Structure 1
């Protein structure tokens, strides 16, 4: 089948990983996939510089505009989409459109219905949830979203919670599946790495290492976790913490570590290219996710588990869909920083437990959460009569 993957994102970081994962899996299943990206974005050829900087390009300029101006440009992008889709149809008509849904974008759904082509929307964002960038024209965004969710051929939600709030708000939406994130297991294979050499090079030899990878943002709770555990580290002298990434709260975390004299116990390497993420996970004995949100499916969760590194994580519904407490990870009551710290400190002294749960986590990923699983799921939404 000829599939057109359309997205209006910058195609960087987590979103780029997801795009490459789905596109690669569809191609492995024997389909021809063309990617139509935002002008200047190329998630299939993301460079290390782009991964680490997070700046530059047309998208970088546009995202700095005031809210209402930014949203008006999002609406106008429908005209760009129609023109680009028209050219694609003339050169290589798709038999299926798979789109990473974006707010205010309806042109693809309208055109697919007009041409009689199946269209599946992947829902990672919504006007129904709290977003990093607040919505100015929320009412209009929700009306467009309702129209798209009802008229697409199918919808792929990243969590059951996400689908439930969409059904509650919009009623009779298109047929849907719940497809959490996944991982490229051959790339996230602990057998690829010389663990002891990496740990020695990074000053972690002889330590029990608990790690985290992700953006230092308020809703991820890294700053609160470090503050809560800082005065307890003396009770577990072999424990080291590694927090990979950067963001708004990183300066506060650095200051806290310096003030408490914990530079030898807490390592902050900053943001690294995605190609290096697995090598950092290889240094870890277990991982921690201090906080998340009600609807998201954290990519880092799957990458940790794929490497056989089990995670201490909050019991939000999307996380609990992936982690079976005590079997493939450990859950604590969301918002309870003290409970998170207690579990991390307890596990620092339970090597057998960490290995048992880590091995089970990797087995779960291998059987259910590789990108091919997501690709197979989304294709179930395509009507039987669609061209193959």
Structure 2
């Protein structure tokens, strides 16, 4: 089947990983997949070419526009989408469109309906949830979104919570599946790495290592976790923390560590390329996710678990869909930093439990949460005979 994957993201970081994962899995299943990206944001090709760099800079400038002005640009992008889709239909008509949903984007669904082509939307964002960038034209965004959710052939939600929110708000939405994130298991395979050599190179020999990978943003709670655990580290002398990533709260975390004299206990390597993420996880004995949100499916959970590294995580519904407490990870009441710290300190002394739960986490990922599972699931939404 000829499948067109359409997205309006910048194609970098987590969204790029997700796009490449789904596209690769669909191709492994024998489908012919092409990707239509925001100009200069193709996650499958070199982002360092001069043309791509210029377009990426333009996209970055657009994202800095004031709220309502930015949203008007999002609406105008429907015209761009219309022209590009018409061109795609003339050269290689798709038999299925798979689109990563973006606010205010409706042109693809409108065109697909006119041409009788199935279109499946993957829902990672919504006008119904709290967003990093507040919505100015929320009412219009919800009206367009409700129409899109009802008129698509099918919907792929990243969590049951997210689907329930949409159903309550919009009523009879299109048929849907819940498909949390996944991982490229061969790439995230602990057998690929010389764990002891990596730990020696990074000053972690002989340490029990608890790690985290992700953005240093307030909603991820890294700063609050480090502050809460800093004065408790003396009670577990062998425990080291490795927090990989950067963001707004990283300077404050660095200052705290320096003020407490903890530079030898807390390693902050900054952001690393995604190709290097697995090598850092290979150094860890277990991991921690200090906070998340009510609807998301954090990619880092799957990458940790795929490497056989179990996670201490908040008990939000989407996280609890992935982690079985005490079997494939450990849950604590979300918003309770003290409970999170207590569990991390407690597990530092329990090597056998960490290994047992880590092995079970990898087994779960291997059986249910590889990208191929997601691709097979989304294809169940496509009517029989669509490829004819």
Gaps of 5+ in 1: none
What is the Cα deviation at residue 28 of structure 1?
Answer: 0.1
What is the Cα deviation at residue 385 of structure 1?
Answer: 2.6
**Matched-pair contact (CA < 8 Å) for 1:154–1:175:** yes
Find the aligned partners of 2:75 and 2:42 in 1 and give their Cα distance: 22
Matching residue of 1:318? 318
After TM superposition, list the pairs within 5 Å mapping 1:243-282 onto structure 2: 243-282=243-282
Give the ranges of 4+ consecutive aligned residues of structure 1 lying more than 6 Å apart after TM superposition: none
Matching residue of 2:361? 361
Matching residue of 2:3? 3
Matching residue of 2:179? 179
Map Cα deviations across residues 185-220 of structure 1 (whole Å, 9 max, x no partner). Answer: 000000000000000000101000000000000000
Map Cα deviations across residues 54-105 of structure 1 (whole Å, 9 max, x no partner). Answer: x942211110111111000000000000000000000000000000000000
SS at match of 2:44: helix
1:140 has 2:118 as partner: no
**Matched-pair contact (CA < 8 Å) for 1:287–1:311:** yes
Find the aligned partners of 2:296 and 2:358 in 1 and give their Cα distance: 22
Map Cα deviations across residues 330-374 of structure 1 (whole Å, 9 max, x no partner). Answer: 000000000000000000010000000000000000000000000
After TM superposition, list the pairs within 5 Å mapping 1:95-134 onto structure 2: 95-134=95-134
Matching residue of 2:30? 30
**Matched-pair contact (CA < 8 Å) for 2:10–2:56:** no
Find the aligned partners of 1:385 and 1:369 in 2 and give their Cα distance: 27
SS at match of 1:304: helix
Find the aligned partners of 1:194 and 1:282 in 2 and give their Cα distance: 8
Find the aligned partners of 1:226 and 1:245 in 2 and give their Cα distance: 14
1:344 has 2:344 as partner: yes
Find the aligned partners of 1:48 and 1:377 in 2 and give their Cα distance: 34
What is the Cα deviation at residue 386 of structure 1?
Answer: 1.0
The normalised TM-score by structure 1 is 0.98
Q: Cα–Cα, structure 1 residues 347 and 215, in superposed 2: closer, same or farther, change >3 Å?
A: same
Matching residue of 2:377? 377
**Matched-pair contact (CA < 8 Å) for 1:216–1:222:** yes
SS at match of 1:365: helix
SS at match of 2:167: helix
1:196 has 2:196 as partner: yes
Matching residue of 1:240? 240
- Count of aligned pairs: 385
Q: What is the RMSD computed on CA atoms of the aligned residues?
A: 1.4
Find the aligned partners of 1:149 and 1:266 in 2 and give their Cα distance: 45
SS at match of 2:87: helix
Worse overlay, 41-50 or 184-193: 41-50
**Matched-pair contact (CA < 8 Å) for 2:41–2:47:** no
What is the Cα deviation at residue 277 of structure 1?
Answer: 0.1
Find the aligned partners of 2:310 and 2:355 in 1 and give their Cα distance: 8
**Matched-pair contact (CA < 8 Å) for 1:82–1:108:** yes
